Structure 1
């Protein structure tokens, strides 16, 4: 399996928008990354990009998803700032729509 490529799972944070998409549409994996070596029974060392230098390069197989190469597949590398625990957070830029909910005795914006 050395030399193959895999996707790396990023931990979802409930209620946080990722890449301006909410919940189901937000990306769960980043990559692909090349496998450098096998470490133990169920762990692999990956060749991470310099932007992920703060993250330890050895991951359990449950954090990886096999990448099947396709010549027509074009990857765009977005700059994702991950924490040391593989979490990231994005905040909305602007509020596009406002609604007023009417309850029995009050109104909520």
Structure 2
């Protein structure tokens, strides 16, 4: 099994507001995956979102933990998607920062 992509995005929103923004913006996060054809499963366990998504005919799975001062994403990329891990990590980091910037 490959090492997952791990992204930590600090925030100053508090846990409840950060979770609300992740819930509202989850589709934007998923759309960053190339060839994404939609969410296969998505469920919250406390402040942890557990998901799997179809992308380029493969299943991408991961978790998003909403903490008091950060949101941590851990995403497993299968097969050919591992090749784009670096650029995907940068795009996910930027999207996370956009979602969690105080407005």
Larger % of strand: which?
Answer: 2
Same fold (TM over 0.5): no
Q: Counting helix residues as a fraction of each chain, which structure ranks higher?
A: 2
What TM-score does the superposition give when structure 2 sets the normalisation length?
A: 0.28
